[in-house]
Chains A and B, each alone.
Chain A
Amino acid sequence: MDKNAMLEKARQLVDKIDDLPTIPVVATQVLQLLDQPDVQIEEVADLMLSDQVMTARVMKMINSPVYKPEHEITSLKRALVFLGLRHIREVALTTSFINAFDENKGAMEIGAFWEHSFGVGMVSKIIAKKVGYPDLEKAYIAGIIHNLGEVFLSNFMRDEFQAVLDSIKDKPVKLVDAEIEQLGTSHCEIGLCMARKWNFPEVYCEVISLHHTPSEAVIDPVLCAIVNLSDLFCSVRELNFGGREWISFNLFEEEAWQILKKQSPQFAEMDVERFCYELDDAIPDVKALVDSIFNSKEQAEP
């Protein structure tokens, strides 16, 4: 199907929704502050602390077994130093995204959705490390947000999306293909429209839009390939969205594999079997993290 037509269709669908979640005021202010020259981390921390939920979630994300700081980080300021100024923007956006969609009102079970998302974040970080990608945090965040568009479909086009999910139940058909066939667009284009509305940085917009077709990427094909492969692996182990999609793939034929092999020849030597088994072992960590993020309201020290 024509890409432009799919994007146009996505734009119409997203524009039609009046009560589309917006970024919390604090997050907007954080983003504005970050645009100023010579901004100090203390200022950002002070501003973020005015939103307790956001603060708690940043702390949970940083201290998770997935992120693995060497020592537990107990103050928001130290958390932001750990992240570095360049990543505060993404974390603010990511926690906003989580806030906007933490209710179970859509066609899919939101807990399973976040487990998949954080799983993809974690695995993206692991793969990023294996291929020598320079920015592991970027890979982590890209993984968490890659399926932005699916929450839209689930929450705002509930019946249509449910019909798509029902149509592929136990069949070897990819969700993204079924969406294109039945809705004329997919979570990739819808996610892109939402990410643009929220002013996500372009590199993340590209991941959201092209995480199923990484060879089309121009800004950061390696990042798109990392998230693509990570998404595939999570979909065949137990971070598979409660089995809503039956996926199989021949690893060596995947375009992401080719891109990453080119990026790092030793990646091709990876023990894929062991990687899958270790992934199984890491699943309880991801589930615990998601549980702690969604059930935490405690406040961090300034």
Chain B
Amino acid sequence: MAISDKDFEQLRDFIYNICGMYFHTTKKYFLESRLARRMEATGVKTYQDYYLFLKSPRGTEELKFLMDEITTNETYFFRNVPQLNALETKLLPEIVEIKNKMGFRKLRIWSAASSSGEEAYTMAMILLEKRATLLKDWIIEIVGTDINETVVAQAKEGIYNAYSVRNIPDVYKRKYIKEDNGKFILSPDVKKFVTFNKLNLYDDNKMIFMKTFDIIFCANVLIYFDTASKSKVVQHFYNNLQPYGYFFVGQSESLHGVNDKFKTVHFPGGFTYKK
């Protein structure tokens, strides 16, 4: 069943207001097909009824199922290219300059929902390439955390499938990935810069010890949190950043109304939050 513009806009606004994730018009058909699955599972007949169901008291649980359908859980290397470009072109040199002035040559990066490790290792590859130039004699520390122990173990292992590595530029692939029987094995040179641990972002006692990061990534996780938890977790991220640090969320995500201390910094194809 084709979704009307009105129904699409209504659902898009609802998802945006509750989850902080914007559905671009280009993704209308994608949303339509995923909604169809949920409507079949719940026995709801029309988009309008499904919208009313989401808004009802029982909707909170249903929204989680819907979000599972509409966010792809699989991640991959070099996923958010505009973000990476912004880091390389402007943000990283800026942080390095500030820290050079302070004589503090250590870079700390946190991938706060690291899943199987692709985001954290992508940063490791990019920084490794700068070891001879921008980051000469710098200490690099990258931390990946996730609530799910299975994915943390996978991340530590560093073995990937073709889907995960398909976006890695050749220059990196040649250096840091070895193919073996359809498996793609990450070089120990990259792995040694990254540590992975289990962490629940709701755990205040542990969150307060994640200190002094220059850059934090947390993509496609906050969309599952209610507003109060979101505010609390984002406040932790804010506190855990250096005064000049940056906080990145996923493509199409928004922190509007969640935290009024972060400032938006815009770059081609995206934006980030600056402390």
Contacts and interface: CB of A to CB of B under 8 A. Distances in A.
B221 interface: no
Given A236-B271, A240-B268, A248-B86, 12 more contacts: A170-B89, A172-B90, A238-B269, A248-B268, A251-B263, A271-B254, A272-B256, A273-B254, A273-B271, A274-B22, A276-B266, A276-B271
B28 to A, nearest CB: 10
B22 A236 contact: no
B150 interface: no
11 contacts: A237-B269, A246-B267, A247-B268, A248-B266, A248-B268, A249-B266, A271-B257, A272-B264, A273-B264, A277-B24, A277-B252
Interface string A246-276: 1111111100000000000000000111101
Contact of A172 (B89, B256, B271): B89
A251 B86 contact: no
Interface in A193-252: 232-233, 235-238, 240, 243, 246-252
B266 A236 contact: yes
Contacts of A237: 269
B274 A247 contact: no
A235 B267 CA distance: 8
A250 B90 contact: no
B24 A249 contact: no
Contacts of B268: 235-236, 240, 243, 246-248
Interface in B225-275: 252-257, 263-271, 274
Interface string B116-153: 00000000000000000000000000000000000000
A277 B269 contact: no
A232 B266 CA distance: 9
Interface of A: 170-172, 232-233, 235-238, 240, 243, 246-253, 271-274, 276-277, 280-281
A258 B266 CA distance: 17
A203 to B, nearest CB: 28
B256 A273 contact: yes
A248 B264 contact: no
B256 A271 contact: yes
A251 B26 CA distance: 27
B51 to A, nearest CB: 19
A277 B267 CA distance: 13
A270 to B, nearest CB: 9
A251 B24 contact: no
B269 A236 contact: yes
B260 to A, nearest CB: 10
A280 to B, nearest CB: 6
- Assign chain B's interface to a size class: 20 to 34
Contacts of A280: 24
A233 B266 contact: yes
B53 interface: no
Interface of B: 16, 22, 24-26, 86, 89-90, 252-257, 263-271, 274
B90 A277 contact: no
Nearest to B260: A269
B265 A274 contact: no
A230 to B, nearest CB: 13
Contacts of A251: 263-266
A8 B264 CA distance: 38
Contacts of A238: 269
A6 to B, nearest CB: 27
B134 to A, nearest CB: 14
Nearest to A282: B25
Max count, chain A CB within 10 A of own CB: residue among B16, B26, B268, B271? B268
Given A172-B90, A272-B256, A274-B254, A248 B25 contact: no
A249 B256 contact: no
Nearest to A275: B256
B69 to A, nearest CB: 20
A246 B89 contact: yes
A277 B22 contact: yes
Contacts of A240: 268
Given A248-B266, A273-B264, A281 B24 contact: yes
B255 A273 contact: yes
B209 to A, nearest CB: 30
Contacts of B265: 248-251
A298 to B, nearest CB: 28
A157 B257 CA distance: 47
A281 B27 CA distance: 10
Contacts of B89: 170-172, 246, 248
Contacts of B254: 271, 273-274, 277
A11 B264 CA distance: 39
A248 B22 contact: no
A238 B24 CA distance: 14
